[in-house]
Structure 1
Amino acid sequence: MRNWLSGALKDHSSLKKGVLTGILRVAKESIFFGLNNLEVAGILEVGPFADKFGFTEPEVARLLDDFELSGKLPEAREWYNGYRFGETVLYNPWSILNFIDDCPAPPAAHWVNTSSNDLVRDLLESGAPRYGKTWRRCWPAAAWSAR
């Protein structure tokens, strides 16, 4: 992975900047060794990129207005906002675009088929002996199985 990222991002004449997104914070010393000018921006931090990874509410309002759906903003807010980067509340772009495309159908969870919770489940299960009571309070009993 390190070689692939270095080849794609370092000294690439057609690339001025690159953006990598992910769910796990990766130490600079691991797969990014050899890349310079690396900046890690977590979702809890207030920074210049807080509004760049989703739609802000004014952007959603404008999109809905452009498609003559401005009355649907409360419904969109109830279903699709909830990502917070620092102090910025963002809407999932995939969900908003599908919500607009599907209108007048009722809202739906459009993102459910685009990702997997397997990593989270594996992390929880690997820590289950130590944190079992806590995890089981948060996770439905049907989701737990012996392996």
Structure 2
Amino acid sequence: MSVEELRAHIAAIGDEIGLQKKLLEKLETAIRALRQLNAALDPVVRLPLEISSEIFLQSLATSPSRARGAAIVLLGICNTWTDIALATRAMWMAVHITFPVATILRLGEDPVDLVSAGGKISIRHVFGQAGPKVLGKTFVL
């Protein structure tokens, strides 16, 4: 392939990229319009927060670990449902973290720490002297 052919090929690819960018912009505009329409038509959005929150709470499974999973799913539906789920404090009153039995047995009476972007903090500091309790295979804070 000659230099001229390579340059022509690069130019053709550049033109195609430009067309694809324009198409992407059109699609992004279309999806924004559809999301706005969905927000206007979604019956959950039109309900008062208290009712939407209660519906969300009633939709959770009775198993704590499954309820947590359902709460996470609600966060991924749309921005409005995320806002409702995050505003529903009762959905987040308990944090259920499941560890393998061997990990729990190794913990024993040792202090347990939470690690976050801000650093490490003792669970006992956050939750008081009661600290975490081991219930079966589920570590409940």
Q: Same fold by TM-score, threshold 0.5 exceeded?
A: no
TM-score range, shorter chain: under 0.3
User: TM-score if structure 1 supplies the norm length?
Assistant: 0.20
User: TM-score if structure 2 supplies the norm length?
Assistant: 0.21
Q: Which has the higher contact order (CA 8 A, sep 6+)?
A: 1
Richer in helix (by share) = 2
